[in-house]
Amino acid sequence: GGVMIDSGTTDTYLPLKLQHKFEALWREITGAPYSNDEVEISHEDLLALPTVLFQLEAHADSINEELDPKKTVGLAGLVDAKNPQDILVAMPATHYMEYSVEYDIYKPRIYFTQKSDAVLGANFMMGHDILFDAEKGRIGFSESDCDYMSIVQNAASSTRD
């Protein structure tokens, strides 16, 4: 299947065929089942949840053989010896767990609902600068220090004053 990166979609939707493996790894790491049910957890527990890594196939014309994929942040060299030039995009729990101030709960926002294609939404894009190169048919990713949630919270608190 294909992948659509869509800033107009809040959440991330993955193919059903990935659900079983994801849930097994989730249980192995956390000791609990994965679900999209709301949960009451502390901020400390939120930070202890796993970071989800997405591995994206490298564009053949974009591979820089001078870079060591085992030492270059964002390349898959340390996790996939067969595809070391692939790109890794990290989604920490603070991006896939949506917090409700009103109810003091978190809700996981990674869903397994797609027949084949994936939709990587705004929660996937958070914390990254993304370059859409339509001319060459490729997309580039780099980690960003833009803290969107702080910007939103600061704007919300300044409008209350």
Mean pLDDT of 130-144: 87
Cα 119 to Cα 64, 71, 110, 123, 159, distances in angstroms: 28, 29, 10, 11, 33
Residue 104 has pLDDT above 90, yes or no: yes
Of 133, 144, 141, the residue nearest 54 (C-alpha): 141
Q: What is the pLDDT of residue 79?
A: 93
> For position 147, what pLDDT does the model report?
66
* pLDDT at residue number 138: 84
Q: Are 16 and 116 in contact (CB under 8 A)?
A: no
Name the token pair of 147.
């803290």
Burial class, 15, CB count within 10 angstroms (exposed 0-12 / middle 13-18 / buried 19+) = middle
Closest CA to 74 of 142, 120, 152: 142
Q: What is the pLDDT of residue 159?
A: 66
Which one-letter DSSP state was computed for residue 116?
A: S
Among 31, 33, 36, smallest CA distance to 14 is for 36
pLDDT in tens, 7-64: 899 999 999 999 999 999 999 999 999 999 999 999 999 999 999 999 998 888 788 8
The radius of gyration computed from the CA coordinates of the chain, to the nearest angstrom, equals: 17
pTM of the model: 0.82
